[in-house]
């Protein structure tokens, strides 16, 4: 059975801090790993990672995948209160496009 | 495109009643997914379709749950009879073979 484990479960930081969120996985026929941000409603897409060691970057957010050690990290630098959300990691198999989600990391950024 | 559209946004029903949740995927997307999200279990895949055909329904919790996709632009998830433990947010998502999944805004179901 596919498994995705995220840590920490929750995190409270102050504006300006840098945070690192972790995601480890076990999946048969791995295809990609995705990060989503969920505020109050629907998860919104952040990154899709398919290759090891290649950093993906979007503004203050960046992510990298290690397919040998089966994990990914999501970094957020200079955090802002608007970064407060649940960050979800999901893995996708080669067949079927279906996603298995981790439990999420709840990030709270205080002013 | 307006994105994935779900209705209703909120549903409150009494135990034993039938509930139907609706989803319109993004035009051109050939995969459609139904997920359920609860505090205890997080986001769980219930069922997904490819080209309107159900591919994997192993996540459907019980026979009380059923899903259909009569055409490429519409899907339903039905619970009959509903129970309080079905209370959750139900998300529909769609994708293409090579894209990430795009989620609808969800339906918050409360069964009392």
User: For A32, which residue in chain B has the nearest alpha carbon?
Assistant: B100
Contact B103 A96 (CB under 8 A): no
CA nearest to B108, candidates B93, B91, B89: B89
CA nearest to A25, candidates A39, A38, A12, A35: A35
Proportion of chain A above pLDDT 70, given as a percent: 99
Supply the pLDDT for residue B62.
Answer: 86
Predicted confidence (pLDDT) per residue in A67-88, tens digit? 999 999 999 999 999 999 999 9
Contact A99 B31 (CB under 8 A): no
Contact B55 A96 (CB under 8 A): yes
Supply the pLDDT for residue B1.
Answer: 65
Give me the residue label for tokens 């990914």.
Answer: A72
Contact A41 B106 (CB under 8 A): yes
Contact status, residue A69 vs residue A61, Cβ threshold 8 Å: no
Contact A97 B95 (CB under 8 A): yes
Contact B45 A41 (CB under 8 A): no
Q: Does A42 touch chain B (CB under 8 A)?
A: yes
Q: Does A94 touch chain B (CB under 8 A)?
A: no
* Residues in chain B within 8 Å Cβ distance of A104: 42-43
pLDDT at A94 over 90: no
* Residue A45, number of CB atoms within 10 A of its CB: 15
Supply the pLDDT for residue A93.
Answer: 85
What residues contact B79, with CB distance under 8 A and at least 6 apart? B18, B19, B64, B65, B86, B109
| Rounded mean pLDDT, A87-92 | 95
* Residue B104 burial (10 A CB sphere; 0-12, 13-18, 19+): buried
User: For A49, which residue in chain B has the nearest alpha carbon?
Assistant: B100
Which of B42, B44, B100 comes nearest A104 by C-beta? Answer: B42
Predicted confidence (pLDDT) per residue in B33-77, tens digit? 999 999 889 999 999 999 999 999 999 988 999 999 999 999 999
Supply the pLDDT for residue B89.
Answer: 97
From residue B55, how far is each of A80, B46, B67 by CA, in Å? 41, 11, 12
Supply the pLDDT for residue A2.
Answer: 86
The C-alpha of A43 sits at a distance from chain B's nearest C-alpha, in angstroms, of: 6
Predicted confidence (pLDDT) per residue in A28-43, tens digit? 889 999 999 999 889 9
Spatial separation of the C-alpha atoms in residues A11 and B13, rounded to whole Å? 35
pLDDT at A16 over 70: yes
Predicted confidence (pLDDT) per residue in B1-45, tens digit? 689 999 999 999 999 999 999 999 999 999 999 999 998 899 999
Contact A96 B105 (CB under 8 A): no
Going through A1-111 in order, the beta strands assigned E by DSSP cover 3-7, 10-14, 19-26, 30-38, 44-49, 56-58, 61-66, 71-76, 85-93, 99-101, 105-110
CA nearest to A46, candidates A9, A4, A83: A83
The C-alpha of B15 sits at a distance from chain A's nearest C-alpha, in angstroms, of: 25
CA nearest to B43, candidates B112, B89, B97, B98: B89
* Residue A63, number of CB atoms within 10 A of its CB: 24
């Amino acid at each position: 059975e596919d498994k995705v484990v995220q840590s920490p479960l929750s995190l409270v930081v102050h504006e300006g801090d840098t945070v690192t969120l972790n995601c480890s996985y076990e999946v048969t026929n791995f295809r990609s790993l995705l990060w989503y941000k969920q505020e109050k409603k629907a998860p919104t897409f952040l990154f899709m990672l398919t290759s090891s060691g290649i950093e993906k970057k979007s503004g203050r957010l960046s992510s990298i995948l290690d397919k040998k050690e089966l994990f990914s990290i999501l970094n957020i630098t200079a955090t802002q209160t608007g970064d407060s959300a649940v960050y979800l990691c999901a893995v996708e198999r080669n067949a079927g496009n279906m996603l298995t989600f981790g439990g999420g990391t709840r990030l709270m950024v205080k002013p | 495109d307006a994105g994935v559209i779900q209705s209703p946004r909120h549903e409150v029903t009494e135990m034993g009643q039938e509930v139907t949740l609706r989803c319109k995927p993004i035009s051109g997307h050939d995969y459609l997914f139904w997920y359920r999200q609860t505090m205890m279990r997080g986001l769980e895949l219930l069922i997904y379709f490819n080209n309107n055909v159900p591919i994997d329904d192993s996540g459907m919790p019980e026979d009380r749950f059923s899903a259909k996709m009569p055409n490429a632009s519409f899907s339903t998830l039905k619970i009959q009879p509903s129970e309080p433990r079905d209370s959750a947010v139900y998300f529909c998502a769609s994708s293409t073979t090579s894209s990430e999944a795009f989620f609808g805004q969800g339906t918050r179901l409360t069964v009392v």
